[in-house]
Amino acid sequence: MTATPTAAAPFTTVIGLEVHVQLQTRTKLFCGCATTFGAAPNTQVCPTCLGLPGSLPVMNRTAFELAVRAALALGCQIAPFTKWDRKNYFYPDLPKGYQISQFDLPFSSQGALEVVDPKGALTRNVRITRVHLEEDAGKSMHDETAGTGDTRIDLNRAGTPLCEIVSEPDLRSPQEARAWLNELKLLLVYLGVSDCNMQEGSLRVDANVNLHIPCDGGRIAKTPIVEIKNMNSFRSVERALVYESARQYEEWQATKAEMGKTPKQTRGWDDPAGVTRAQRHKEESSDYRYFPEPDLVPVTVSEEWLAATREAMGDPPSVLREALAATWKIPPYDADVLVNQGRELVAYFEDLAARVGEGKVASNWMQQDVLRTLNERGGSIDDFPVRPAAVADIIGRVAKGDFDTSRAREIFAEVLASGRTVDEVVASMGIAAVDDDELITLCRELLAANPRVVADVQGGKEQAAAGLIGQAKKKNPNVNPGKVRAMCLELIRQM
Amino acid sequence: MQPSDMSAVDLVTAVRHGDLTALRATEAFLERIERLDSQINAFLSVDREGALRTAAAIDEKRKAGQPLGPLAGLPVAVKDALCTFDQPTTCASKMLAGFRPPYDAEVVARLRAADAVIVGKTNMDEFAMGGSNENSAFGPVHNPWDLTRAPGGSSGGSAACVAADMAPVAIGSDTGGSIRQPAGLCGITGLKPTYGRVSRRGLVAFASSLDQIGPMARSAADCALLLETIAGHDPGDATSLESPVPPYGADLDGPLEGVRIGRVPAHFGAGLCPEVAHAVEEAFAAFRAAGATIIDIDMPHADAGVATYYLVAPCEASSNLARYDGAHYGHRAEPGGHRAEPGRLHPVEPGGHRAEPGKGSGASGGGFESALVEMYCRSRAEGFGPEVKRRIMLGTYALSAGYYDAYYAKALKVRRLIRQDYLDAFEKVDLIGGPVSATAAFKLGEKSGDPLAMYLVDLYTVCTNLAGVGGISFPCGFTKGGLPIGFQLQAPALAEPLLLRATDRYQHLTDWHRRRPAIAARPR
Amino acid sequence: MSLSRNDVAKVGLLARLALSETDLDTMTRELSTIVGFVSQLEQIDTTDVAPLAHPLDTQNVFRADIPQPSLTTAQALQSAPRHDGECFLVPAVLGDSGAN
């Protein structure tokens, strides 16, 4: 797939993303402090994450394993030997005066994650430059109204394990960037690597963007690369990139400034204002004086270790979509919708589909009933009160002809609302299976009362029988419309 | 016999057998500290009350028939670079004046668990940077053998307090010779264990890949006793070794027959004081007489040791000391307060041009880009002494963009060559002997105007740390002026038993280590 | 090897050390001497020699992901030059440095 400039956008937007995700561990990367979100300030701190004199880091094994799991799922090469480095800079949310990160020997590199073009079925392979493991900084809070002018520092977050995922500049539109982030998030959540909760800061995105502008003579002008920060949702990422592309194009038209002549600029996204703003550039801040962290020892990853990690990992969403479509004979669209809702929902679906025996029927129920009501109610599928057995029960009764689908929906809604069993709801709604004698009597009454319909059918207009169904349901709400229709036609034929 | 005359081994035996109470032993040393330390300045803080309380509790335990720890009743002085939750930990820096850590260093915790009595925290060069103890923000330590002379450093307080019998044993730390050199200049025995043998957790870091805690005492046997308690794996220090701790004390007995000791002819070059050279050669002769074989060996990159060390250590230090910035603990410069002279501070704008006063630097004045940067720069300028600043500057420079390869990376390559020298040497010999420093104790102030001259004091000791192996220093004679001369033995990784055994053998054959400075003599 | 005053001033800012004019003179002189001394390493042939950053050969040291007790807020703040009982207080900064 090649993105070509269109009349609407006379340039190609070139985007690379840098994503930080907080790993789902119980404790921090280098100490035993908890990582619970929302704790009172400075209650999850110890000498190590406070950077007190003499304190030392010891690596959290789970953090490393989760990071490896993420890298494997992104198709990365895992380095047989990796080490950590100190990135030195002064900031009050960084109590040691350095961040323990990885510089020249990250534990993984050279992966890829495909993104489905949101406008069509085409996919784009977005290369991953590297994935590395590092510690987070604390939180600075500045309240100008407080009057003190001081910044308050909470170090609860300091030392939380982060996986940094850096993509190549392979994305070609803001929409594609957003779609790719959705896929990345889904993958990481599926694998239990991170909850990727952006509100809680467990997923943060910076974007590098510039434009490729075709000029006369086939030359491509490249605008200076801008790094955008402070985007707190995927929607913000898309909006910021849309804004920034337009801004760069405007600037290019005015200045014709091209890449390489100025240092990389950093701009912050101001969400309420819907604009990016230049951030102050400190020349000396980029001299991080990386050197090997002498308080940690390197990690070597054996083939056995990798094999075990792969084994325990489970399928990534892309594999699961295909597997779901093949196993349950559902369209790729259905598989996509189900998989995108997360692993728990897929488990629910598979349970339901196995009970129903018909993948497509189960999928329809998932999408039209379970998912819709789940979205209205909020919460997780695991807490959804109508379990697969009950839904399968309802579907089964429809198949048997006990009642029709619309009646079934009412039953589903009532089971959900009341928390009672399907049997109880069916009984309470007075739904009883209508036996054949009852049905024959009912249909005879209807035909006797509607000679016109009988005449029309006999005249070849079978569709006229549809008019009888509404009357039948009035007389007995439990009748199956299909059966009423079939019985009426049969009786007319016998006349 | 007075408790202060007893060896640590005898002292803990006497306490265990009830021949001496922990209280009595502690009082004896506290009394000497009170009497002598005003002249020596070996202690930055003395925890008289805490020590007496601990000692009394140990005596109670004994009376109640409860099991006693292996160091029960033994007074121990601890270098002020180790965190103690109940006493200040300052690293002899204004930056940490009055700082109280909320935790104990692993070594301190082990000492307490062994029922040792921590009597106080000893003076040192600020952040362990120095070889004379003159870099202490709280005044230099005076060498007990001659109060006008330096005790060496950086563990000068620990060395001096043992030499003056103010403590039977002390804890030091050694990054480039900081245990061995002061031990040599003060006439005591000091062991720098193999890197990773003793946990560094709670040792205020100077250069993390070089720092190691070790025992300082009057004899190898006393060092062995202390090492047995402080050595061993600590899951809280990722660089701590897992190998089991041998019974160092029990392993002391053993012949030296067949032990090969390397002698490096290059050690006896022009810089070595003839009196020191003579005493060191005499020591080799004594080892030969005891059955050891002396073999001349070459350490081809030893000359590069000091230059390599003065890149590796400052680079790590520049990062390790970044945390002292006035934000979360330690000294913070008051806004606008104590400014030496308006306009005297020298801020730089991006691009390296000096800021014009009051221009583009916010409300802080003085030309800093923000009040925060000003707070950092001034807190650190006020909190650190000159030598610490020099090393931070040197390390920052050597790691900065454009210089990393020429300095830091180059030093790491030479470091490998130096370690390879050791690996090669230990194919041929079991130990390497030689001087610990080129001269006996020098005068206070003699070298303080010349940083480089001071760095060269570390000539014989830095390579041990660069290679990560173990070394021990002990007295092997005296100058005509009555100053002790030190001998150093180095051994392969984890060969502490051999280092201690060889030294113990030597100390059975000689009495240098029994000599006490005049100041330590009992008052009439 | 000699450093300029401006080199030293830059390093001073990088190291967050305020240097007076006098300091700057002294530091420029001393650092030039020391850098000149350590530059002797240039003469050692290190072709094909791998850097040795650490004396240990050990690898793969981990701890289990099991929470340990944290300090109390009071302990965490006990040595803070300024705090409000909950947080450390520092002169105004613009925002999180984040992890970058």
Give the nearest partner residue to B393 out of C17, C75, C82, using CB atoms.
C17
Give the nearest partner residue to A97 out of B203, B239, B322, using CB atoms.
B322
Q: Are residues A126 and A218 in the same domain?
A: yes
Tell me if residue B480 is catalytic: no
Closest-CA residue of C relative to B102 is C75
What residues in B contact A54, CB-CB < 8 Å? 82-83, 89, 101, 105, 200-205
Q: Are residues B435 and B377 in the same domain?
A: no
Per-residue pLDDT of chain A (495 residues; tens, 9 = 90+): 444 455 567 899 999 999 999 999 999 999 999 999 999 999 999 999 999 999 999 999 999 999 999 999 999 999 999 999 999 999 999 999 999 999 999 999 999 999 876 566 678 899 999 999 999 999 999 876 655 588 999 999 999 999 999 999 999 999 999 999 999 999 999 999 999 999 999 999 999 999 999 998 889 999 999 999 999 999 999 999 999 999 999 999 999 999 887 778 899 999 999 999 998 765 545 799 999 999 999 999 999 999 999 988 888 898 899 999 999 999 988 998 999 888 899 999 999 999 999 999 999 999 988 999 998 888 889 999 999 999 999 999 888 878 888 889 889 998 998 888 898 888 887 776 667 788 888 888 888 888 888 888 888 888 888 888 888 878 877 777 777 888 888 888 888
Closest-CA residue of B relative to A282 is B350
Q: Are residues B75 and B178 in the same domain?
A: yes
Helix (H) or strand (E) holding B466: helix B462-467
Instruction: Pick the catalytic residue from B178, B240, B379, B473.
Output: B178
Is C13 a domain residue? yes
Contact between A56 and B315 using a beta-carbon 8 Å cutoff: no
Is A482 a domain residue? yes
Here the ipTM equals 0.95
Q: Which of A385, A410, A428 is the last residue of a domain?
A: A428
Q: Are residues B226 and B344 in the same domain?
A: no
For residue B471, the domain's CATH number is 3.90.1300.10
Q: Are residues B352 and B483 in the same domain?
A: no
B447: which 2 tokens?
């070298």
The distance of B382 to chain A (nearest Cα, Å) reads: 17
Total domains in the fold of chain B: 2
Q: Are residues B187 and B108 in the same domain?
A: yes
The distance of C2 to chain B (nearest Cα, Å) reads: 12
Q: Are residues A74 and A112 in the same domain?
A: yes
Q: What is the pTM of this model?
A: 0.90
What residues in B contact C51, CB-CB < 8 Å? 409, 412-413, 415-416
Closest-CA residue of C relative to B418 is C52
Contact between A52 and B89 using a beta-carbon 8 Å cutoff: no
What residues in B contact A287, CB-CB < 8 Å? 400-401
Q: Are residues A157 and A73 in the same domain?
A: yes
Q: Which residues, listed in sequence order, are joined to residue B117 by a DSSP beta bridge? A: B75
Q: Is B485 helix (H, G, I), strand (E, B) or coil?
A: strand
Using CA atoms, how far residue A101 sits from A30, A133, A136, B71, C98, in Å, is: 12, 6, 9, 41, 13
Q: Which residues contact B263 (CB under 8 A, 6 or more apart)?
A: B284, B294, B295, B296, B297, B432, B433, B434
Total domains in the fold of chain C: 1
Q: Which residues contact A135 (CB under 8 A, 6 or more apart)?
A: A28, A29, A30, A99, A100, A101, A158, A159, A160, A161, A162, C99
Q: Are residues B249 and B365 in the same domain?
A: no
Residue of A33, A46, A52, A152 to mutate, interface with B, max B Cβ within 10 Å: A52
- What would the DSSP string read from start to end of A26-81? SB-SSSS-B--TTPPTTSS--HHHHT-TT----EEHHHHHHHHHHHHHTTPEEPSE
What residues in B contact C24, CB-CB < 8 Å? 346
Is B413 a domain residue? no
Q: Are residues B358 and B498 in the same domain?
A: no
Residue A169: what residue type?
A: P
What residues in B contact A296, CB-CB < 8 Å? 238-239
For residue C24, the domain's CATH number is 1.10.20
Q: Are residues B102 and B247 in the same domain?
A: yes
Q: Are residues A177 and A52 in the same domain?
A: yes
Q: Residues in chain B with pLDDT < 70?
A: 336-366, 522-524
**B481 at the A interface (CB within 8 A)?**
no
Is A4 a domain residue? no
The parent domain of residue A344 ranges over 315-428
**Residues B15, B23: Cα–Cα separation, whole Å:** 10
Give the nearest partner residue to A42 out of C53, C63, C76, using CB atoms.
C76
Is A309 a domain residue? no
Q: Which of A269, A304, A339 is the last residue of a domain?
A: A304
Residue of A59, A154, A291, A297 to mutate, interface with B, max B Cβ within 10 Å: A291
**A279 at the B interface (CB within 8 A)?**
no
Q: Between C21-38 and B305-320, two packed helices, what is the crossing angle to 10 degrees?
A: 140
Backbone angles phi, psi at A59, to 5 degrees: -70, 135
Q: Are residues A254 and A113 in the same domain?
A: yes
Q: Output the CA angle B203-B209-B213, nearest 5 degrees.
A: 35
CB pairs under 8 A between A and B: 108
Among residues B299, B303, B34, B320, the alpha carbon closest in space to that of B165 is found at B34
Q: Are residues A162 and A113 in the same domain?
A: yes
Give the nearest partner residue to B100 out of C3, C21, C79, using CB atoms.
C79
Contact between B239 and A297 using a beta-carbon 8 Å cutoff: yes
Is A28 a domain residue? yes
Q: Are residues B249 and B149 in the same domain?
A: yes
Q: Is A265 helix (H, G, I), strand (E, B) or coil?
A: strand
DSSP, res A223 = P
Q: Which of A428, A448, A463 is the last residue of a domain?
A: A428
Q: Are residues A147 and A34 in the same domain?
A: yes
Given this model, what pLDDT does residue B114 score? 98
Contact between A299 and C59 using a beta-carbon 8 Å cutoff: yes
Is C59 a domain residue? no
Tell me if residue B410 is catalytic: no
Contact between A298 and C59 using a beta-carbon 8 Å cutoff: yes
**A45 at the B interface (CB within 8 A)?**
no
The half-sphere exposure of A169 on its side-chain side, counting CA atoms within 13 A, is 14
Closest-CA residue of B relative to A42 is B328
Q: Are residues B340 and B441 in the same domain?
A: no
Is A282 a domain residue? yes
Given this model, what pLDDT does residue B20 score? 97
Given this model, what pLDDT does residue B364 score? 33
For residue A486, the domain's CATH number is 1.10.10
What residues in B contact A50, CB-CB < 8 Å? 328
Contact between A294 and B239 using a beta-carbon 8 Å cutoff: yes
The distance of C100 to chain A (nearest Cα, Å) reads: 9
Give the nearest partner residue to A86 out of B237, B319, B401, using CB atoms.
B319
Neighbours of B179 (CB within 10 A): 35
Tell me if residue B154 is catalytic: yes
**A114 at the B interface (CB within 8 A)?**
no
Instruction: Pick the catalytic residue from B4, B93, B136, B154.
Output: B154
The distance of B374 to chain C (nearest Cα, Å) reads: 8
The distance of B278 to chain C (nearest Cα, Å) reads: 29
The parent domain of residue B101 ranges over 3-265+428-517
**Residues B480, B177: Cα–Cα separation, whole Å:** 25
Neighbours of B102 (CB within 10 A): 17
**Residues A73, A65: Cα–Cα separation, whole Å:** 12
What residues in C contact A154, CB-CB < 8 Å? 86-87
Given this model, what pLDDT does residue B509 score? 94
Classify the C-alpha dihedral A414-A415-A420-A426 as positive or negative: positive
